[in-house]
Amino acid sequence: MPMPDWLRVRRAQEAQDAAQWTKCPACGELLYKPDLKASHEICVKCGHYFRMHAADRIAMLVDGDFLEVGGEIEPGDPLGWVDRRPYPEKLAGDRQKSGLSEAIVTGFGSMGGFAVGLGVMDFHFRGGTMGTVVGDRVALLFERARERRLPVVIFTASGGARMEEGVLALMQLAKTTNAVERFRREGLYYVAVLTDPTTGGVSASYAFQADVVVAEAHAAIGFAGRRVIEQTIRQKLPENFQRAEFLLEHGAIDMVVARAQLKDTLVRLLDYGVGAAKAASSRNGAAR
Partner 1 sequence: MNPIVEREKGLLQLEQRIADLKASVGAQNVDLSAQIAALEDEYAKIQREIFGKLSPWERVSMARHPKRPTTAQYIEKLDQFDELHGDRQFGDDPSVIGGFAKLQGRRVLVVGQQRGRDTKENLRVNFGMVRPEGYRKVRRLFELASRLRLPIVTFIDTKGADPGIGSEERAQSEAIASCLYALAESMVPSVSVVIGEGGSGGALALGMTDRILMLEHSIYSVAGPEAAAAILFADAGKATQAAASLRLCSEDLSEFEVADEVIPEPLGGAHRDREVTIERVLAAVDRHLSELSRSTPDALREARYRKYRRIGAWAASEQAQAQGVVR
| Of the candidate residues 31, 75, 117, 218, the single one contacting partner 1 (CB under 8 A) | 75
**Residue 157 interacts with partner 1 (CB under 8 A): yes or no:** no
The span of 3-11, 46-54, 112-120, 159-167 binding partner 1 (CB under 8 A) equals: 159-167
**129: Cβ contacts below 8 Å, ≥ 6 apart:** 103, 158, 159, 160, 161, 162, 163, 169
Name residue 161's beta-bridge partners. Answer: 130
CB 191 to partner 1: min, Å: 15
Rounded CA-CA distance 278/60 in Å is 25
| Of the candidate residues 24, 103, 104, 168, the single one contacting partner 1 (CB under 8 A) | 168
Instruction: Measure the CA dihedral 58/150/137/204, to 10°.
Output: -90
CB 158 to partner 1: min, Å: 11
Helix (H, G, I), strand (E, B) or coil at 198: strand
Report which residue type is found at 225: G
CA end-to-end span of the chain: 86
**Residue 98 interacts with partner 1 (CB under 8 A): yes or no:** no
Q: Residue 197, preceding bond cis, omega within 30 degrees?
A: yes
| Of the candidate residues 157, 188, 207, 262, the single one contacting partner 1 (CB under 8 A) | 207
**Residue 36 interacts with partner 1 (CB under 8 A): yes or no:** no
Sign of CA dihedral 162, 165, 167, 172: negative
**Residue 197 interacts with partner 1 (CB under 8 A): yes or no:** no
**Residue 115 interacts with partner 1 (CB under 8 A): yes or no:** no
State which residue, 41 or 102, has the beta carbon closest to partner 1. Answer: 102
Sort 185 into a burial class: Cβ within 10 Å, 0-12 / 13-18 / 19+.
exposed
Site for partner 1 in 132-151 (CB under 8 A): 132-133, 135-136, 139-140
Name residue 256's beta-bridge partners. Answer: 215
State which residue, 60 or 224, has the beta carbon closest to partner 1. Answer: 224
Number of residues in contact with partner 1, rule: CB under 8 A? 66
DSSP class of residue 101?
S
| Of the candidate residues 3, 15, 167, 287, the single one contacting partner 1 (CB under 8 A) | 167
State which residue, 13 or 178, has the beta carbon closest to partner 1. Answer: 178
**Residues making contact with partner 1 (CB under 8 A):** 72-79, 81-84, 131-133, 135-136, 139-140, 161-175, 177-182, 185, 199-201, 203-209, 221-224, 228-229, 232-233, 237, 241-242, 247, 250-252
